Structure 1
């Protein structure tokens, strides 16, 4: 074995390890350097660590796999829960939208039904109003709803406006409501909320139309009864009775309030009854001799005792005389039937009209007769022309009213005719 050289460095020097292997005559030796020892130690440590890690993995593999699967399961469950929550929210929103749409459609249908009812009421009212006013032009102040609009899902609100005929007022009311309430300004108000505000305004307008219709009907009913009573009272003041039972019927019973459609039907029936009664009174009044046979002409001789113009002695004058020139039209003062149209002694050419119930009128001293016996005449119809035939001192119209051949003072009848002339 060779000797190593002494180190030139001061102090001891660490010698490398030498491994000697002897086998018989064969002797081998190996010198182990420090780096070789470190390398071997590192390899052994790495093998030991790898062995330990592999052993730990094999031991803990099931736990690690289970934990990973559980984590993935938790993530999947959370994802599914989130999807389910979102689906539930979508379903709730969809259901709310469907409910709002159905609610809007129901409200629009209700509005259209009410509008149709108002239109039907208007159809029932028009004949009565024309009957009450005598002309269709008199119904211009009656609230009339528009024609029924077409219902479409994409223009529900537009049709809701059109159904009431008050779109402008509804829109204005909605604008006022929105401007007054900060809680409903901006986009926070849903379509359903806006529709509710519009429907409330439209319903209010429809109720106002219904109220105006009923109020107008009641006004017409009161006016019809008042007109009929005025005509009857005026005729009775002249001794003319149209109906012995008029205004004397008894009535009574418990109070049973009515509302809604029954109120309208009841008011319409009442108006129809009032108009029928007024028509009956008017028809009866037109048959009575209450018109003036010579409008605008001066009465030259009154009813009763007077000085006879021919002999100058007091005598009874059974009628009144109107100053008239020859050829002036003489017209009937009431409807009736011509009972006599011929020469009648001192009356000269005379026309007598039977008005029924024993009431007759006579037109004497005519220059020409324009009607014949048995002819039916209406009030204001031409009977003849004024003249001076018969016992007369000059052209004039002699007019008499008789009841059961008893002469009556025509002045009372003329006064009544003047009072109620505009009511007939």
Structure 2
């Protein structure tokens, strides 16, 4: 070993670093060895690396948390948007169902109102139809203006209650359809609606409403048409009676009834209800006119006192059967066996009943308006003065009393005491017989 204490084997040894700290008289020194420096460097490096790692962790953690939060926010927003869309869709469906239900209820109400109107019309037509049924010469189909639905549209049982007093089952069921996809009211109509099996209730309801509406319109139209035809036929019958009476010069109220030549006025459109009321009123007026003319015609002696019997002597100038000279025959003679009934040709009051000179046993009937009829040469009188008789009542038995050459019926028609040819009345009676 040398004096410096260095090893000769390893050569010259480095001396460790010495740190001397002097503070006044006090002096301190530290020996800094290499391992201490290495440890201190390692500690510093570890602290720096730890700081960097911690900083990076915090930075990346904030980014991850922010990204996760943003992703969750986006997912929540998407869920909320989806929920809002579904809620809006549900609201739209609910609103549409409510709207469809309100629309159905409105349509059902309208159909029920029309059905009630038709029932009321049917009730109003009842009394008029009873009057029309008493008329002769009118087609039977015109006496029943309450139509049925055509077979190519619906079956009879489907609309049995349209014009009756009950509400149609289909309408009652439609009132509670609501938003359901099926309804019992569609069971009978779905096959005739020409719709797919999976069609919605609204589509099937619209088709059903259309079919019922067409049926109701058909009924209304048919009612109006038949009422119009019945009124026209009634007017034609009344005009036929009036024309026949006027052509024969018999009294008739010329101002009564319908005058089709003097017309005019502004055009005022009317609805179907007003049109129906107008047609019913027109029909009622036509029936009134026909009744009036029938009553007027029945007061006149238009019937044949001896139907099917031959006329042996007409009205007018002839050779007197007893004297053989020209004389006026004031009536018509009918060949009829002794004891046959002599019938009144119109309603009236008996003014004479008994023996009356050359007439023999005679009955005179006053028919009003100055018209009288006489039935002479009777074998027996069956009525008394003041007695009321109707057309066709027996007033006596035929014979040959008075100025007569054999059994027959002498028939006269007089107006204000003047004799009129009875043949004119008989001809008119033939023309208007079917209307009376």
Q: TM-score, normalised by structure 2?
A: 0.75
Task: Give 3-state SS (helix, strand or coil) of 1:109's partner.
Answer: helix
Shift of 1:127: 2.0
Q: Which residue does the alignment assign to 2:127?
A: 127
1:281 and 2:293 are equivalent in the alignment: yes
Aligned counterparts, 1:148-167, within 5 A: 148-149=166-167, 151-152=172-173, 153-154=175-176
Is 1:85 aligned to 2:85, yes or no?
yes
Stretch of structure 1 that moved more, 413-422 or 336-345: 336-345
Matches within 5 A, 1:392-403: 392-403=404-415
1:103-134, Cα deviation, whole Å (9 max, x unpaired):
11211111111121122222222322332231
1:147 aligned residue (165, 168, 182):
165
The offset of 1:389, in angstroms, is 2.2
Instruction: Output the CA distance in 2 between the equivalents of 1:96 and 1:400.
Output: 86
Within 5 Å, which residues of 2 pair with 1:26-37? Answer: none
Higher helix share: 1
Q: How far is 1:325 from its partner?
A: 1.6
Residue aligned with 1:92, SS:
helix
The Cα RMSD (Å) is 3.1
Deviation at 1:346, TM superposition (A): 1.9
User: Would the alpha carbon gap of residues 160 and 208 (structure 1) be closer, same or farther in structure 2, given more than 3 Å must change?
Assistant: farther
Provide the secondary structure at the position in 2 that maps to 1:174.
coil
| Structure 1 segment 34-73 matched on structure 2, within 5 A | 55-73=55-73
> Secondary structure at the residue paired with 1:383?
strand
User: Which one of the candidate residues 353, 356, 359 is aligned to 2:365?
Assistant: 353
Segment drifting more, 337-346 vs 149-158:
149-158
Match of 1:227 in 2: 237
Give 1:371's match in structure 2, choosing from 383, 386, 398.
383
Distance 1:123 1:160, change over 3 A: farther
What's 2:108 paired with? 108
1:130, 1:206 → 2: CA distance? 24
Aligned counterpart, 2:222? 212
Offset of residue 212 of structure 1: 1.6
* 1:147 CA displacement: 3.4
Q: Is the 8 A contact 2:315 2:330 kept in 1?
A: yes
Q: Is the 8 A contact 1:327 1:385 kept in 2?
A: yes
Segments of structure 1 that go 5 or more residues without pairing to the other structure are 1-44, 162-166, 179-184
Cα distance 1:414–1:171, how it changes in 2: closer, same or farther (>3 A)? farther
Question: TM-score with structure 1 length normalisation?
Answer: 0.77
Distance 1:378 1:172, change over 3 A: farther
> Which deviates more from structure 2 when the two are superposed, residues 141-150 or residues 295-304?
141-150
Partner residue, 1:258: 269
Partner of 1:95: 95
Gaps of 5+ in 2: 1-44, 149-162
Q: Report the 3-state secondary structure (helix = DSSP H, G, I; strand = E; otherwise coil) of the residue aligned with 2:193.
A: helix
Q: Deviations over 1:10-37 (max 9, x none)?
A: xxxxxxxxxxxxxxxxxxxxxxxxxxxx
CA contact (8 A) 2:101 2:177 kept: no
